[in-house]
Copies of this chain bind each other. A is one copy, B any other.
Amino acid sequence: MSNSTPNQAPAATQNVDLSDLAIRADLADYSPVRGCMVIKPYGYAIWELIQKELDGRIKECGHQNAYFPLLIPESFLKKEAEHVEGFAPECAVVTHAGGSKLEEPLVIRPTSETIIYHMFSKWIKSWRDLPYCINQWANVVRWEMRTRLFLRTTEFLWQEGHTAHASAEDADREARRMLDVYYDFMTKVLALSPLIGQKSDSERFAGADKTFSLEVLLRDGKILQAGTSHHLGQGFAKAFEIQFQNKNNEPEYVHLTSWGVSTRLIGAIILGHQDESGLILPPKVAPIQVIAIPIYKSADEREKVLNECDAIVGELKKLGIRAKVDANEQTSPGAKFNEWELKGVPIRVQIGPRDIENNQVELVRRDLKQKIKNVSREGLSERITLMLDEIQESLFQRNHSWREENTFEANSLEELNKRLDEKGGFGKIHWCGSAEHEAKIKEIAKATIRVRPFEEAKSEEAGNCIVSGNPSPGRVYVGRAY
């Protein structure tokens, strides 16, 4: 058994090469198109599990899936002033199609507010149509300068929800509700413990009144924005003329929200849980939850242990567990151990001829790298089912403790910078709210304000901005983010 325990992770702030890890674990590959990746079957299977789990939760909220065009007239993007400023520099533009120059260029959606709200203006007529709640699973393109597999790619896959409401209160409640849906999903399914709160003005979505965010502390001490939910107010509604007749038959503009998570979540899973041997996948999003490895010398032994592996995997599959036998004759058991550890499979079952004789198996928990010998063959499926739950819970606790242990108060920029240099994490600092001083934090401590948390903002005492000494209403969380 290795010495690793859940909370003894690699030293923080060391840079894990995510791209290298993603490629070695066969999740993805570089493509010949700048900044675009190929999601390979093992990586895509994680995305399918994410989609299935999250789609169900979104539908339970009463939201319906739909599909809107990939291409958006350039003029649409320009209708909302902040929005075009935020997204125009990142757009890929179609200027020619069908052999001719287009009269108006089309941009590939960087996000779909404009095209969806154009349609909302046709569809929404009365207060009876509200709330109007749509979700879309789609690809989007943002021409980023620096890309990194899963975390920041030119094209990525995501879901974007869009809802229209009769009042600002309703929209605010909805934006918070979807943040809670994401929170619940990330904690229960991805085994991550994100910090939630509200973004500063400079980090707000282009065109939103408020942006709420979920921020995950990764094993390397850096922070990843894993999802956002925006209360958009009436800016887009006015730009796209989305009016409804209220109960007094007067026209009013709707109040909008939008919210999304993307294939970046796969990056969050990788960097939120990995150790020195590779990925550690939470069982709920592990394409293979149990890998059975036959251990044998002779052909006769091979047949026996393979039969036993098949029998065990068959039993597990009946219980809905995603299990597989690695029957590859080209690789040694040791090489197989390494490969499936790298790929993060939660439980490994090893079976040799002696195990069959003794009616037992050996189990290895990936998260703890813990070998459990002499596990009785009787009740094995039940034991594995329980163990998968334990691993799921344990990974969540590990990420949660990691965040708690690496959240610290800092009362000067120097202190903040020093601590972030050492271990990364979330620094809690007082900040007066000015963009100028926010920029100073970035300059000195190479850190951005991640969120103003909901609870702290209320409960905590006021203080003084660590940059200016001006009054601060309560501490915000800063850190170095991907």
A contact set with B: CB distance below 8 Å: 29, 31-33, 36-41, 44-45, 47-48, 64-73, 76, 88-99, 105-106, 108, 115, 118-119, 122-123, 128, 134, 138-139, 141, 143, 145, 154-155, 157, 330
- The contact of A73 among B33, B93, B97, B145, by CB within 8 Å, is B33
Nearest B residue to A67 via CB reads B39
Are A64 and B38 neighbours in the complex by a CB distance under 8 Å? no
Chain A interface, >50% SS class: mixed
Which residue of the partner chain, among B29, B40, B65, contacts A48 with CB atoms under 8 Å?
B65
Contact A40 B66 (CB under 8 A): yes
Residues in B whose Cβ lies below 8 Å from that of A91: 97-98
Q: Let me know if B66 and A115 touch, CB within 8 A.
A: no
**B65 near A41 (CB under 8 angstroms)?**
yes
Q: Given known contacts A93-B94, A119-B38, A128-B330, is B70 in contact with A45 (CB within 8 Å)?
A: no
For the complex, give the distance between the alpha carbons of A186 and B134 in Å: 29
Q: Which 3 A-B pairs have the closest CB atoms?
A: A98-B143, A41-B64, A36-B69
Check A141 against B70 for contact (C-beta < 8 Å): yes
| Interchain Cβ contacts under 8 Å between A and B, 5 examples | A31-B68, A33-B115, A38-B66, A41-B65, A93-B94
For A330, list chain B residues within 8 Å (CB). Answer: 128
Note all chain B residues with C-beta closer than 8 A to A95: 93-96
Q: Given B41, B64, B88, B94, which contacts A94 in the complex, CB threshold below 8 Å? A: B94
Nearest-neighbour CB distance to chain B for A331, whole angstroms, equals 12
- Distance of A232 from chain B, by nearest CB (Å): 20
Indicate the member of A97, A115, A134 with the most B CB atoms within 10 Å: A97
Contact A33 B92 (CB under 8 A): no
Q: How far is the CA of A143 from the CA of B330 in the complex (A)?
A: 48
Shortest beta-carbon distance from A247 to chain B in Å: 14
Which of B37, B72, B97, B143 is the one whose CB lies under 8 Å from A97?
Answer: B143
Cβ-neighbour of A33 out of B33, B71, B128, B139 (below 8 A): B71
Q: Which residue of B lies closest to A106 (CB)?
A: B33
A31 to B95 Cα, complex, angstroms:
19
CA distance A148 to B38 in the complex (A): 32
Q: How far is the CB of A54 from the nearest CB of chain B, in Å?
A: 14
Instruction: Verify A96–B93 contact, CB threshold 8 A.
Output: yes
A404 to B108, CA, bound (A): 45
A269 to chain B, nearest CB (A): 17
Query: With a CB–CB cut-off of 8 A, which chain B residues contact A70?
Result: 36, 70, 108, 139, 141, 155
- Cα A118 to Cα B76 in complex, Å, equals 35
Looking at the assembled complex, report how far the CB atom of A39 sits from the nearest CB atom of chain B, in whole angstroms. 4
A71: chain B residues at CB < 8 Å are: 33, 36, 92, 141, 154-155
